[in-house]
Structure 1
Amino acid sequence: MKVSIIIPFYNCPYIDQAIKSALNQTYKNIEVIVVDDGSTEHVNKIAPFKGRIKYIRKQNGGTASALNLGLRHASGKYFAWLSSDDMYLKDKVERQLGFMEGKGAKISYTAFKTINENNMVINEVHSRAMSLNNFRRTLLKGCPVNGCTVMAEVDLIKRIGWFNEKIKYAQDYEMWCRVSLKTNMYYLGESLVLYRVHSGMGSLNHSIDMVSEADKIKKKYRGLFRLMG
């Protein structure tokens, strides 16, 4: 089964490390798609990898639009999202794909480790396996899913309706809420992603807007989840 690793990129100095971690996977039936969202900096760091990746450049439109464009160009059955400042452990795709095929899962997420600017591990973050109803209840309190740990069937995302490009910062949270209307997200309790915490990360610089978007999402899905029982 081919896995398409999609890396949205916008002026990120760590892009070369992200690409390298994707290309160095032990599971070899992959394609790496870098979607350049109108970057003006660090584009030169992609050049050494151009022969081994799909490189797509577009006008700046935000993470959701970059993910959607990557999905439209994906040829894999599954897709995995990798932020340009994060990294995969070398067996991430192999471990998670094996887990999903064993469970018959259409979508899953994993634990992860946080790292600093110098790739030093700071912390390890775990969630827990939950029933669909418990997962929905947890979503209404906050997002338990790190988007860069997610692997999903491309067809599932297409059927559900792509990432919402009107949501600038919490598009992943809204997507997992929408997914949970249709199916559960399986949890693999292994840390397979290195999530970088640094001064330039969007979740720090746009935290107020993220909270505002998240509150609107909670309000919308509280009612929808109630209807689902």
Structure 2
Amino acid sequence: MLPKVSIIIPFYNDPYVDQAIVSALYQTYPNIEIIVVDDGSTRHQEAITPYRSRIHYIGKQNGGTGSALNHGIAMASGKYVAWLSSDDRFLPEKIARQVAYMEQTGARICHTDYHVMNEHGAITQYAQAVKYHSAKAFITGIRHGCPVNGCTIMMTKELFQDIGGFNETLPYTHDYDLWIRVLLCRVDFHFLNEPLTVYRRHSQMGTVRNFDTVLREANGVNARYAQLLDQLLASMPG
């Protein structure tokens, strides 16, 4: 039997959420569950109504994306978990291609390439993931910033639990923090070089509206782990 994949969609006042849900529902991979975590929204819940019978819809007090993801993944019953932001979309083969890769390689975590779309859903940039020629080059990249698009990630739920989940005190860089902790645990971070997600870039994104705050937070995460990442890099050949 194909392993189950749990797709977690954190939602907070996002008018695009129905498009995200539809892209999850129309995956070619048959064994999925979709968990939409309403993080205390006050608007746009009506967009979810037509799909309520086909998803798990969970409400909670507002606590940020990291807390919504932790809440949803705690409820997940899949071997693998994937995160889909409520303003992004999965391409139809996303789950099928990534599961096949992870089952074949034994990867515990994997990210992929992605396209970029605008607020109207038109793709404006293709294959935008940063590509690295080696694991050491990837770790060097993450030492200076976050090259991983969180919505391209698939990981085992077991790994997520082992690492300890997202740091809920980090509103914007909980993903960057988790990827670093994965690397520091000497877990191989695989890359599947196929664009399987479409990432929406628009003026109302939290990372756009709060850019200076995001930058300060990212710099803090970077400083916290810099010495440990340098030690990891020094231990690697090449």
Same fold (TM over 0.5): yes
How many angstroms apart in 1 are the aligned matches of 2:131 and 2:198?
A: 18
Aligned to 1:85: 87
SS of 2:192's equivalent? strand
* 1:11-22 matches, cutoff 5 A: 11-22=13-24
2:190 matched to 1:186?
yes
Aligned to 1:118: 120
- Aligned match for 1:176, one of 172, 176, 179: 179
TM-aligned CA deviation for residue 133 of structure 1: 2.9
Asked whether the 8 Å contact 1:127–1:189 carries over to 2, the reply is no
2:53 matched to 1:51?
yes
TM-aligned CA deviation for residue 185 of structure 1: 1.1
Aligned to 2:104: 102
Identical residues among aligned pairs (%): 49
Q: Deviations over 1:114-149 (max 9, x none)?
A: 001111110020322554332221101211100000
How many angstroms apart in 1 are the aligned matches of 2:5 and 2:135?
A: 25
**Unpaired segments of 5 or more residues in structure 1?**
none
Asked whether the 8 Å contact 2:113–2:195 carries over to 1, the reply is yes
- Aligned match for 1:8, one of 7, 10, 13: 10
SS of 2:54's equivalent? coil
Report the TM-score, using the length of structure 2 for normalisation: 0.94
2:147 matched to 1:137?
no
Q: Deviations over 1:58-97 (max 9, x none)?
A: 0000000000000110000000000000000001000111
Report the TM-score, using the length of structure 1 for normalisation: 0.97
* 1:141-220 matches, cutoff 5 A: 141-182=144-185, 183-220=187-224
Query: Which amino acid is 1:128 matched to?
Result: K
- Deviation larger for 183-192 or 28-37: 183-192
Asked whether the 8 Å contact 1:79–1:152 carries over to 2, the reply is yes
- Matched positions, count: 229
After superposition, the CA RMSD in angstroms is 1.0
